[in-house]
Homo-oligomer: A and B are copies of this chain.
Amino acid sequence: MGEGPTITTIAERAGVSIASVSRVLNGLPTRQETERKVLAAAEELGYVRNAVARSLKSRRTHQVAFAMADVGNPAYLAMLREIQPVLKAAGYRLVLHSTDAVVADEIDVLHSLGERYVDGLIMVPLRVTEAHLTMLATARAPVVIIGSVPEDTPVDNVRADSRTGVRLALDHLHALGRRRIGLVNGPLDTVPGAARGAAYREALGALGLPYDEELVEIGDFYRAEGGRAVAALLDRVPDVDALMCANDLIALGALDVLRAAGRRVPQDVAVVGMDDTDLAAASWPSLSSVSLGSAERGRAAAELLLDRLQYGEREPRLVTVPPHLVVRASSGRAGAEEPEGNTS
């Protein structure tokens, strides 16, 4: 773990100047003899370029940060899984920030762009505050936001269309004959929470169903919280016949509680989740879910950022990824999805 060789060590060994060493290492035109000597010396000494010194001079770190609330959330994970290879292929390293949904942490990340340890940032803010917007306006490196920001924010923006997503789910449930469709949402001051709440109301309108406040319950985007919210909802509105859940974790919580309450899914209550995570396919019963294209959003964000890193200044772009509904057992016809004969 000694203090590895530097360009100077090599220069001495090869009997040339450090400039020549640098040139050889960067593939700039050099006499064959010099090249040979330098490469030989580098090889013998096991030389590896110091990335920090390089970055200082070149003002490029070849690192990109990805900041989201929690890697454990499968929706973010899906993004990460797409972002990583795209960056890697372009020669960038990925610096991961978990902000635990704490606004101050997100602001911190934006602020730390000034430290210039990354060339750019992809961020999925849970809520967008005034502080976010100020920081974004003066950010010291290119930023791509996944989630909605106001029109005039000077950053690239990738959005899901949860409005259409909720609409797809409600159309589906309506087509199944459900009329008392509840919404189990996350906090309304979060970007997804607000969007999904509004979309729900709108979709009901389009279907000619009344908006009934009783049918809406706010919890948080986690399984246990979702379960609690569903329990409260069942208590208040026993005749609910379908649940639109604002994400898959909430939906899993819903399944837990419905099972404990002796309601059959989907016969008594149909359930639709959102994000179409791995968990949806693995759950019991398997969970219908609206895919908001997490993976596609991740990929789009990475590509936007790389494009900007490569070509510099240009108009901010907006990419909207279309949703689609994946129907599984939790809202299929009873048992239709699964072979019969399996009790347990």
Contact = CB atoms under 8 A, between A and B. Distances in A.
A224 B339 CA distance: 11
Contacts of A55: 52
Interface stretch (A25-33, A193-201, A275-283, A316-324): A275-283
A46 to B, nearest CB: 7
Contact of A52 (B49, B61, B140): B61
A88 B94 contact: no
A211 interface: no
B115 A267 contact: no
Interface string A92-126: 01111110000000000001101111000000000
Contact of A284 (B93, B98, B140, B286): B286
A320 to B, nearest CB: 25
Given A256-B339, A344-B267, A95 B98 contact: no
B115 A339 contact: no
Contacts of A61: 52
B84 A88 contact: no
A175 interface: no
A115 B48 contact: yes
A191 interface: no
